[in-house]
């Protein structure tokens, strides 16, 4: 499978590296084709890796992962282009955090409560099939759930059942046993809204090595 990972930060690097290790072809996307972080990542990964602009790697890929700053998700969607993503499964792992006022950050007003980054991405890319997932945990746990002992959960939501099936398969590749489907993409309002609580727990726990577990009666 050909994956484009848009974003050159820790989350993008972690996801792209895992995908290469699983045998996928991966290209890392950035605003500029000459992005030094992306180029350095490619050198470490070998022949299955490449990099380029958001638009170029999105057009090349079969599936696209948005791992950018959540505050920039609409701008990156515009840069990637709806035509390049038409009919493709688009995986959104972002959280719409406003970092401008220092720590702890708050959710961006127009992307929360009655909206979400996931829904904004789908609006910006009407021809794509957006699925929200993996945004409720640290990037290392995204690709290695075994880092935390015992059972714990990953969630997904989206308006396209075929795309959610694609994402469920990817989550199983990452080691998740039983992903929880929350239904339509509007459910992303809830999972993105968990991030301020997650950040508080990180502060109290002193480590990002924790996750949520839904305990059923």
CB atoms within 10 A of CB 55: 18
Has residue 172 been placed in a domain? yes
As for how many domains the chain has, the answer is 1
Query: Is position 109 within any domain?
Result: yes
- pLDDT tens digit string along 11-46? 999 999 999 999 999 999 999 999 999 999 999 998
pLDDT tier, 216 (very low <50, low <70, confident <90, very high otherwise): confident
Domain that holds residue 14: 2-205
Please indicate, yes or no, if residue 213 is contained in any of the structural domains.
no
Residue 175 lies in a domain: yes
Question: Three-state SS string across the chain, please?
Answer: CEEEEECCCHHHHHHHHHHHHCCCEEEEEECCCCCHHHHHHHHHHCCCEEEEEHHHHHHHCCEEEECCCHHHHHHHHHHHCHHHHCCCEEEECCCCEECCCCCCCEECHHHCCCCCHHHHHHHHCCCCEEEEECCCCCHHHHHCHHHCCCCCCCEEEECCHHHHHHHHHHHHHHCCCCCEECCCHHHHHHHHHCHHHHHHHHHHHCCCCCCCCCCCC
* Model confidence pLDDT, tens digit, residues 141-165: 999 999 999 999 999 999 999 999 9
Q: What's the whole-model pTM score?
A: 0.97
What tokens were used for 131? Answer: 């699925």
CATH of the domain at 152: 3.40.50.720
Report if residue 82 sits inside a domain. yes
In a domain, 178, yes or no: yes
Within-domain flag for 214: no
What is the structure's pLDDT at 52? 98
């Amino acid at each position: 499978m050909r994956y484009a990972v848009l974003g050159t930060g820790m989350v993008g690097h972690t996801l792209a590296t895992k995908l290469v290790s699983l045998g996928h072809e991966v290209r890392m996307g950035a605003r500029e084709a000459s992005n030094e972080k992306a180029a350095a990542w490619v050198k470490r990964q070998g022949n299955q890796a490449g990099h380029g602009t958001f638009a170029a790697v999105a057009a090349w890929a079969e599936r696209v992962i948005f791992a950018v700053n959540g505050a920039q998700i609409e701008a990156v969607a515009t840069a990637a282009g709806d035509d390049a993503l038409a009919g493709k499964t688009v995986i959104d792992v972002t959280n719409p955090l406003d970092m401008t006022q220092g720590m702890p950050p708050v959710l961006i007003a127009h992307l929360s409560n009655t909206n979400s980054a996931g829904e904004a991405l789908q609006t910006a890319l009407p021809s794509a099939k957006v699925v929200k997932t993996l945004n409720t945990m640290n990037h290392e746990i995204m690709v290695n759930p075994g880092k935390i002992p015992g059972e714990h959960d990953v969630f997904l939501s989206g308006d396209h059942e075929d795309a959610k099936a694609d994402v469920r398969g990817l989550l199983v590749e990452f080691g998740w046993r039983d992903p929880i489907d929350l239904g339509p993409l509007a459910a992303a309002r809830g999972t993105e809204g968990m991030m301020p609580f997650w950040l508080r727990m990180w502060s109290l726990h002193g480590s990002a090595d924790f996750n949520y577990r839904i305990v059923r009666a």
